[in-house]
Chain A
């Protein structure tokens, strides 16, 4: 007989709080690495759940940082729904912990008062008490407890103070008494409430009725779903709105004013000031420099320069190691495994494919480190403050600057950084245009074609043509990103409420490197896993497409291969006659014939790829691409670059039978220059090269970007639109450039 084990119900605690109050720090301290990060169904709000280890275990839900529970954004909606138990399959949490910034009590208590209205047991974690004392603010904890009627625990999360007590309170068997609303709404609104809450009798638990009614009264989005669920309630709310409007009662603001009318006196009673409010804090002094009219933009530009320098220079050695590591791993596998299809797939498909992702990891780690540093210190908000004027002209906001600049390294961290934008429309537009910024995967392609086909002379004695060409590529991408943003804002996202901008400028804080490294690893993991999976799959598909069907060699080619083998065998025999062992002789001859071997292998590879699916697709696509000046080989290269741009170089190397090559390979450059059509005209002219370069600036050839855009927008619609408009732009621009150039006789 099995013993009956009592079913253990794990207590669920929700963390709520304003942005910039250290809520994530508290969450990390409580749960350590025992976190699960995902998305809430149907929205792009991150769902973070962690486990407080020990007995009894407690599940902690980290709700998005919000200023309010009244649902205007997806974040607020989720926070409200989680607390009210509105999400399917989830009940209200057993306890709500409100993380509050002690140095900013008044605004923070607004959210607390809303949480208290839910009637759930709650406690206040009064964080940053050290910063408050520094600013001359002393909070009387006992008095605050008394005023709120909920337990208050002082914390300094950045120094791990008070966390032990918080853990203890979360585990304690007896929960605090359910909180009760302590504020009053203006009488004219109050008198209508009982009648409205009665409608929800038996539909919502008692504690949730009043706040739901207040939400519906002022928020159409909240009211709408009752239209079908409970038409009588829907009608009653509309009638009440009409009554209040008839009385000219400012009921829209009544709730907010009622809460602050309660909060302000409470704060006055519990907070003692030892410094005048007008005294400048350290943070104010820093701001006087960092947002100074002249120094501010200059320092911001210098910081960006430093980040670029780091991402493009400091990351290079690490990238070289990874590249070398991937190559030698491939060699080891090839040496150890029996030669054949499976090994080819493993080395050329899987290892090379994963290497393509891994090689960007150093840049991405560095970029995330700097982004984390900017966020953690509070400088991110200042960069938005400085840049907002320029960005708002094209329909973006100041917050888009950092995501867009990050995209110069890689669109993936750029798209992920757009999470810092509070306005969903700004965020979506930023995501949609970020891949137009020239990422580092385009750089090898630019390098190869510019070095091979553009003149080497100088302009005005200092600038080289090639340098100007390189700069133009970056400029074109950036300008197109702004144009695309403008068009999207003007013609696609032109509905809805007029965009407004309300951004807190949090006090500067010393960066906490543990937190920054934590977040850096967290975000990079998301990149590696998401992008890795896609690239892994695509690499295998591309390898198969480039390998099958496996064409029979022509009699001539087969003959050549046989002759080479015979010649080598003869030489081996000759050496053996001088007394050398078979193995030694074979090794020596292989060395001597290495060049001929490679050359023949490359020609066979080129022969086969032309007859493979990729080759066939290149031929099939050629009629469409010819107006841009591209032949079937370039077309095949573009197809293989669909997974990742830089793949075009190895694809072209194979097609031109160059063996292994990178963007600096002189051999590949020469082969490209020498290639001609059947009539003898060269395949690549400078005009073709420019057309191809522009194509690569504008086209979206990156599976990982599509995958991350799908994750961040939670639909395939926006990645599809993104791919179509960018590829359309690329085709159009290349077409105009090639056809226009030819008409002007530059062919």
Chain B
């Protein structure tokens, strides 16, 4: 089992509950905008603290009563919706930010088609290039699993198709379980993902 999650997270006045278990594939958590999808990813990454529950990924307990690993100890590769590349570092330094990477930087850069961008500043990249670099950086973060927050949003259809294929390939090549959130079910289906809602029910 990859993800075993059962949590309640407070966001403002609201409490968001979410419970599901997944296999090794790409799991897509779907829900309308504002349902709290990003909040759930934040909790898994250790950036938001659940009120109760547990988060277990690949048999490793990240959160449970008495356990709350800090984000840097969770080994998660988080691809944020807004990429969050460090603006004061070139692409190369962004990729090298994580210590003890599991994979070789040049190999990843080659594989993700960003080898020619290493000397560029993030502000000079296009939307598609930015996503690629963000995915490469997450892969290089000594990750045990990958989190994607609407990675195809605001890309034109051909670019979105490219990035979707890339995510599928990364998942297969590096054998990392993926938790993906989106409001767009057709997008999730294109990825060959298993779709679930916040209660863990399979969604058609």
> Do the two chains bind?
no
Residues of A that sit less than 8 Å from B by CB: none
